[in-house]
Structure formats: C-alpha cells, structure tokens
Amino acid sequence: MRKVVVYELTSLDGVAEDPDDFIANWDEAMEANLADVIGSQDAVILGRRSYSAWARFWPKSDIEPFASFINGVAKHVATSTPLDADWQNATVLQDGGLVPAVRALKAQSGGDIGVHASLSVARELLAAGAVDELRLVIAPRIAGGGRRLLDGLPGIALETLETEVSPTGSLLVRYRVLPTS
C-alpha cells in the first residue's frame, strides 16, 4: 500500500503559512531532504488555495528539484469548484470527500502520495488517521503569527524515524504516524 507523506516547512512555533517569512537560509541538507521526500512520490494532494497559487508560480519556475517534480507529478486537488488555472497532470478529487478519495489512492499501486503546503488538507488527513509519515523542516525562528500546521488536531502519537540539524540550524525531522487504537 502507498504511503501518504505530509511535508511542511514550519517555524519553531508551528507556523506553516508563508514559509518565506521564516525560512531565511535554504542549505544543502534541506535540499537533500527535499530531494529524498519527493524522490519517492508520484502523486500529490493539494488544497484549492495551494493549487491556485502554485499553478501560477511553478510552471514558470526553474527552482530545482521541486519545479520539475511538481510540474510533472500527478496532482489531485481537493476542491468542490472547477479549477481556475490549467496545470498539467491536475485533476479534481471526485466527490465523496477528501479522506475516502485519499484512501482510494492509497489502495492503488504506485509511489508515495505527498501533501505539500496545503494546511487544511494536511490537518484533515492527520485527524482522520490517513497520514503515514510527517516530514517537517523546522526553522530556528519564531514566526509569532500565522496559520499553524497542527492547530485543532486531536492527540496523535508519532514515532521518530530520523532527525538532523541542517548547517543553518533547521531541524529536519521524519515521524511515522502511529495508528490510533
């Protein structure tokens, strides 16, 4: 079965909105971590707002390795309205809800399914127990305000699989989400 992997850039206080505001330095360890995350993914789930913003930015971007990855990968968009921008390999998740659609994708053959930037999607999937791994880049900065990744979630047990401190001080952490009993 495929894994759902949530990858988010956060500040030390858990803010994940507008990471350019708190990620000051992108270094080679962060780059290698990102390459590792996307290297196993052949599909991503995006929320409506992330899709709309990214569909305007990434098709013209040369920021690698993410530009080639996100432009070529299958993108499944959680939205109830038609997509406002055309982007290759993008489809709307079918009616019936995000969690059942993601569970159906997990049951198909293929690589990992990534969740990038889409905080409401990540939260809903985490709350439903549909996430297998949580990969975080935690910047050594307190943002002080903004939407937080983990706000409103129930208690969720995690197993630490890997940790690293990047040369610029970001924590690169990989957690397995443990099933609820």
Averages of pLDDT over runs of 10 residues in the chain (181 residues) are 96 96 94 97 96 95 94 95 88 86 95 96 96 98 96 96 97 95 66
The sign of the dihedral angle between the CA atoms of 32, 37, 10, 75 is: positive
Host H or E run for residue 174: strand 171-177
Answer CATH for 4-177 from 3.40.430.10, 3.40.309.10, 3.30.70.141, 3.10.400.10: 3.40.430.10
pLDDT of residue 83: 86
Query: Strand order of the sheet with strand 4-11?
Result: 90-92, 74-78, 41-47, 112-116, 4-11, 133-139, 171-177, 158-165
The two three-digit tokens of residue 57, written as one number: 């930015």
Give the amino acid at 169: G
pLDDT of residue 29: 97
pTM, to two decimals: 0.95
How would you label 39-60 residue by residue, b for 16+ Cβ within 10 Å and e otherwise?
eebbbbbbbbebbbebbeebee
